[in-house]
C-alpha cells in the first residue's frame, strides 16, 4: 500500500479538481446528445482514446515514471483494486464512460458493457503493458464476460418468483374446410 500512496494522492487531487461535465447542446434529445458524443475525439477539453492502444498511449503520457515503476511492482489484481477509485474514477469521468463516448462504444462492441468493468480492463491491460506481458485482450474480454454471466446466473438462482400464472390453451379442433 505504501508504494501506491503517492499515486493515490495525485490521482485523488486530480479527480477532485475536475469540472463537472454537462452537455451543452440545447434542444436536443438524449439520444442525439449520446450519438454526438460518440463522434467526438475531444469531450470537455479531454482527448478521448478510440481504442485500447490509444488508452495505453494516453496513460503513458499522463503517468510519471516513478508512478509507473510502483504500479509495475504490484500484481495486476492489486493494481485493478487499488487504482479503481482513483485512476479508475478519473478515466470514468474524463473519458465519459457512463455518458457515452467513442471509447465506451468501442468497449461495448468489444464485449465489455459496464463502465466499472471497462476501467478494470484498462488498468489490467496497462499493468500488463508496463510489465511487458502479453496483453491478451480477447482472453481478458472473455474473462469479464464469463464473470458477468456468472453474476447473472447467481441473481437468477437467488431470485424469488413474484407471481406465476398458468393458462390452459384450448386444443385446436380438427375442422376441415
Higher pLDDT, 1 or 90: 90
Residue 21: pLDDT over 50: no
Strands in 10-164 per DSSP E: 42-43, 46-47
Domain ranges of the chain: 29-149
pTM summary value: 0.76
Q: What is the pLDDT of residues 96-141, one digit of tens each?
A: 999 999 999 999 999 999 999 999 999 999 999 999 999 999 999 9
Q: What is the pLDDT of residues 37-79, one digit of tens each?
A: 999 999 999 999 999 999 999 999 999 999 999 999 999 999 9
Q: Are 76 and 140 in contact (CB under 8 A)?
A: no
Instruction: Count other Cβ atoms within 10 Å, centred on residue 114.
Output: 14
Average pLDDT over residues 6-13: 60
For residues 44, 46, 48 and 54, what is the CA-based torsion angle, rounded to 10 degrees? 180
Residue 19: pLDDT over 50: no
pLDDT of 93 reads: 97
Give first-to-last CA distance, the chain, whole Å.
82
Cα–Cα distances (Å) from 36 to 28, 29, 40, 55, 109, in that order, read: 10, 11, 7, 21, 17
**In the structure, what pLDDT confidence band is assigned to residue 164 with cuts at 50, 70 and 90?**
confident
Q: Are 15 and 89 in contact (CB under 8 A)?
A: yes
pLDDT of 18 reads: 47
Higher pLDDT, 4 or 66: 66
Amino acid at each position: 500500500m505504501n508504494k501506491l500512496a503517492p499515486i493515490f494522492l495525485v490521482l485523488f487531487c486530480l479527480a477532485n479538481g475536475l469540472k463537472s461535465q454537462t452537455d451543452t447542446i440545447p434542444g436536443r434529445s438524449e439520444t442525439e446528445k449520446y450519438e454526438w458524443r460518440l463522434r467526438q475525439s475531444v469531450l470537455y477539453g479531454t482527448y478521448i482514446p478510440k481504442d485500447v492502444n490509444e488508452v495505453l498511449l494516453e496513460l503513458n503520457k499522463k503517468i510519471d515514471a516513478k508512478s509507473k515503476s510502483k504500479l509495475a511492482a504490484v500484481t495486476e489484481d492489486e493494481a485493478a483494486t487499488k487504482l479503481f477509485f482513483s485512476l479508475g474514477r478519473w478515466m470514468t469521468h474524463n473519458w465519459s464512460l457512463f455518458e457515452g463516448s467513442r471509447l465506451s462504444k468501442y468497449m461495448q462492441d468489444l464485449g465489455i458493457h459496464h463502465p466499472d468493468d471497462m476501467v478494470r480492463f484498462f488498468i489490467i491491460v496497462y499493468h500488463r503493458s508496463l510489465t511487458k506481458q502479453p496483453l491478451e485482450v480477447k482472453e481478458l474480454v472473455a474473462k469479464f464476460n464469463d464473470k458477468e454471466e456468472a453474476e447473472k446466473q447467481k441473481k437468477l438462482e437467488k431470485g424469488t418468483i413474484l407471481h406465476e400464472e398458468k393458462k390452459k390453451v384450448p386444443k385446436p379442433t380438427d375442422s376441415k374446410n
